[in-house]
Amino acid sequence: MTDTTTATEPKKVSDLTFREAMAELDATVTTLESNSLELEESLRAYERGVALLADLQARLANAQQKVDVLMGQLDAPADDATTDSTLS
């Protein structure tokens, strides 16, 4: 598989690692705040930032759901086979 990404064509958001997406979003916000882009470039950057943010939020929600499932497994009540029901 060859990499078809060029300097003018950013990677697809879904192909970025979480850390890469966060770094790109941070850089995009900084660039937009600098008011150094033309209107059309600002709109493209804003659109990319929205896509990055949506993807990051989805990844965080997915991770939170996994953590909740794992925590539920830790808090699950023991079954009768493993519960000590003898009176001491």
Query: For 13-35, what is each residue's pLDDT tens digit?
Result: 999 999 999 999 999 999 999 99
Mean pLDDT, rounded, of the chain? 87
Model pTM? 0.72
d(CA 73, CA 80): 16
Structural domains of the chain sorted by starting position, each given as residue range(s) with its CATH number in brackets: 13-70 (1.10.287)
